[in-house]
Amino acid sequence: MSAMQYDPDKKTPPADITRRNFIDRVIGVAGTAVAASIVYPVVRFLLPPKSGEANVNQVKLPFGRKEIESEAKKAKTFRFGRLLGIIVLLPDGQLRALSAQCTHLDCTVQNRPDEGVLWCACHNGKYDLDGKNISGPPPRPLEVFAVNEVGGDIFVSKGSA
Ligand code: FES
């Protein structure tokens, strides 16, 4: 048996594992853990998460025309990837889909069939039913989406409306 091997009968640690070495290793492991706990959140903050919803160009609405018609405000909101959309029943019976996020500070707009406008309650911003900003602080029109009804399904897509 060599001098460096552990002899269980003597119940003594090998010569290269001293108390100082052991403490140095524990401190090294603890220091690595502390460094990782600091670096990992910073890296996660700097790298945006992958989003499977970022490039959505078309959605099938989880409701149909009857549900929109039965709403008191003749409109319903829907998720469009990371966006929130609103689909509105126009006075002539057509459906129009737009971004529901006000271009001022991103509050959700709502249909006001009594006034014939889309209204943002946050700062009294108003849009016409084509999405054009007509009064209040909104600086830009709402994005308008294309609507296609196929059978009883409603598909909303980006692109020309
Ligand atoms: S957020 Fe809509 S008007 Fe200000």
The residue extents of the domains of the chain are: 1-47, 58-157
In this prediction, residue 141 carries a pLDDT of 98
Q: Is 138 in the pocket of ligand 1 (CB under 6 A)?
A: yes
Sign of CA dihedral 45, 51, 57, 58: negative
pLDDT along the chain (161 residues), means of 10: 57 69 90 93 83 77 96 96 95 96 97 96 97 97 96 89 58
- Evaluate: CB of 137 within 6 angstroms of ligand 1: yes
pTM of the model: 0.69
Cα→Cα distances 142→89, 128, 136, 153, Å: 16, 9, 14, 24
- CA–centroid distance, 127 to ligand 1, in Å, is 11
Residue minimizing CA distance to atom 1 of ligand 1: 105
**According to the model, what pLDDT value does residue 53 have?**
60
pLDDT at residue 45, rounded to an integer: 86
Report pLDDT for 32. Answer: 94
Q: What is the pLDDT of residue 15?
A: 59
Ligand 1 proximity of 107 Cβ (cutoff 6 Å): yes
Q: Is CATH 2.102.10.10 correct for 58-157?
A: yes
Q: Please, are residues 74 and 111 in contact by the beta-carbon 8 Å criterion?
A: yes
Confirm or reject: Cβ of 105 under 6 Å from ligand 1.
yes
Give yes or no for a contact between 110 and 73, defined as CB atoms under 8 angstroms apart: yes
Task: Determine the pLDDT at residue 48.
Answer: 74
